[in-house]
Amino acid sequence: MELEIGNDHIGQYFTPSEVSNLCAQVVITDLKKQLEEEGVISISDPACGAGSTLLSTVKLCLESKIQVQDHLYIEAADIDRNVALMCYIQLSLWAVPCRIFVGDTLKLKYRECWCSLMYYVKGWDIKLHSQKLKEIVHKAEDYVPNFILIND
């Protein structure tokens, strides 16, 4: 906006740091609650840009003594490859386990996926799969069939 680094043609506007900090402060209470309940904080940003809002959230997590390598997982995407990779680099430098997608979130068409080193080092691939498996098992336990089998 002031620096004119956005792209009006594709509707690209970069979030000022003050706005990112405010957004992070608004959600930090919910994130702490999620950490207490699930042991993991997961954040998804479908239009991450360079990651300003995500980095503000990471900063607040660190200030709250949350070990981001063990308890925070970020999944983000952007249609612009350059800014998506900016987000990837910044989150990687902060040692945040993340997957950054390059592609169109609305069409669910992605061209690339970048995983940070901490994603692999801390076993987030396995953590996420086991969490999904627990959800499936929990749903199966609550399942009540709407039919009765009759033997002839």
Contact indicator for 128, 75 with CB cutoff of 8 Å: no
Cα separation, 47 vs 59, in Å, equals 19
CATH 3.20.20.140 fits 8-123, yes or no: no
DSSP 3-state of 64: coil
Question: pLDDT truncated to tens, each residue of the chain (152 aa)?
Answer: 444 455 555 555 666 677 776 777 777 777 888 888 888 888 999 998 889 999 999 998 898 898 999 999 999 999 999 999 999 999 999 999 999 999 999 999 999 999 999 999 999 988 888 877 777 777 777 766 666 666 65
pLDDT of residue 36: 87
Contact indicator for 27, 14 with CB cutoff of 8 Å: no
pLDDT of residue 3: 44
Tell me the helices (H) and strands (E) count for the chain, helix number first: 6, 4
- Enumerate the domain spans of the chain: 8-123
pLDDT of residue 139: 77
Cα separation, 28 vs 44, in Å, equals 14
pLDDT of residue 86: 95
pLDDT of residue 14: 66
Cα separation, 108 vs 84, in Å, equals 15
pLDDT of residue 34: 84
pTM over 0.85: no
DSSP 3-state of 44: strand
